[in-house]
Structure 1
Amino acid sequence: MTFGELNHLPICPIDPERYDRLYAFNHDRDDRLPAFTEWNQIRIQEGFSEERIYRLLPSAVEFEYSGCLTKSRIRYVKADSSSAGMLMAKPCTFHSHPTKNRYLADIPSLQDIHSFLFYRQLRSITVGGTKIWVWDKTKAALRTVRKLATWMEANHFRVVTHWMKEDADNWQVMYVQTVMKHLGWVWPDTIDEMDVQWPQMLRDILKIQVRVLPREPRVKSR
C-alpha cells in the first residue's frame, strides 16, 4: 500500500453532499472534544498494510484512547475508564476498550453501535482485548440511518422526557436501548453468545460492514 491508495481510510458509499444532507438530523453534534485537547500522534509509514496500521492503534488496561486516522497520522487522546469523546465528523475514527475485563473488551457496547449510526464518521475502528474490529457504513446501512433519523424526528423529545422522569440517573442508557430496540437490535442472552453473534448481527440487522481482525498477526481472524 502507498499513500496514493490509502486503504486504511474509508470511501463514502454515496455522494458526499447527499451524505451530509442525510446527517442534518444530528444537528452537527459530531465533535465532542474541547478546543484545548492535547493530541498525541503516531506516524503511519508508507507501505504499511491496512491491518498493520490498525495494529498501531493504542490501548490500555484501565482506560480508553480515542482519535482519528488521517493519510499519514494516527491522532489520539487519552480518555477515561468507560467512555471516550471523539471528533465524530472525521471519516475514520477509533477508540480502544480497557483490556482489564477480558469478557467485555472484545464486545462493542450498545452506545458504540448507536454512536456509529448517529454520528457522521464513515469508518469506526475499535481496539479490544484480543481483537480489532472495523465498521464501515454501506449504502444499505444508510437506510438504517434514515430509519433512525425518521424515528428521532417523531419520538426523540418524547422519549427523552419519559426516561428523564422514570430514571434520571440512567436516562441516556435507557434512551439508547429504546432507539436500538426500534432498529431491531436485541442482545443475545449470554456474553458467550454475544461474543460469537454480534458481528453477523450488525451485518444482518443494521447492514453495517464488519471486519474482525486479530490484534496479533499470528491469530486467525474470524
Structure 2
Amino acid sequence: MSSAERSAGTGRLFTGVAWAVLLLGLWLWGREVTAGPGGNSAPTTGDVAAVGRPLGVPMPPAHDPLEPARPDRVEIPSIGIAAPVVPRGLDAMGAVDPPPYAMPQAVGWYDKGAQPGAPGASLLVGHVDTETKPAVFYDLSAARPGEKIRVARADGSVAEFTIDDVRVFTRERFDPAEVYGPRQDGRAELRLITCGGNFDRATRTYDANVVVSAYLTAVRR
C-alpha cells in the first residue's frame, strides 16, 4: 500500500486503552529486569511476523555502544519521519506516559530505560493518529529492514541505527521480553512502538502493536 493510500483514510483515535495493553506489558517486564472511524494500520498479517529480515539483504555490523546521552530528535528518512523526542516517565498506574495528545507529532522516550546509543534496548513510543489526522508514527509500519533511523543526542552526536525487523504483536501474543528486551547482550538497540492491526469501532481501540527493531551501526559527530 502506498503512503498516499495509507494517508487517504480518515483519522482514528489512538486511545488510552490501546496504550494500556502496550504499557502494562512494559511495567510487568520492567519489574522482572530492573502502551476515529476504523480501518487497518498495516502490516496486519500473522500474529507476530510482519516483515522480518529480507533474504539476501546484507546487514552492517553493530557499532560499539556509546556513552549515555539523552535523545533530542529522531528521523527515519525513508518514511518521512522527523520528530522531537520528549522524555516520559511512569503515570500514576505505573505505566509509561505516552506523549500528550496535544503533541501528536512528538515521540516519547522511556527515560527510565536505556538511552539511544547506550547498551540495551531504548524505547521510543508515538501515536499512530488522532481523531482527525495522522500522528507521528502513522507510517511506521512502512519501515523496512536495512533502512536507517537517526537519533540526535544531547552530546552533539547522531546515533545511526539500522532496522533489522518490523513486527506486529497482537494483544494475545504480546511478549514483553521479546519487545522490550535486547536481542543481543551488550549491543545498543532501539524499539519504535505504536498501535497497529485492526481498529475496533465499538471500543475505539487497536488490537495490536507495530514494533520496529533496530541496532546501532554508525555514529556521526
Same fold (TM over 0.5): no
TM score, norm. by length of structure 1: 0.29
Ranked by relative contact order (alpha carbons within 8 Å, sequence separation 6 or more), the top structure is 2
Task: Decide which structure has greater helix share.
Answer: 1
Alignment TM-score, normalising by the size of structure 2: 0.29
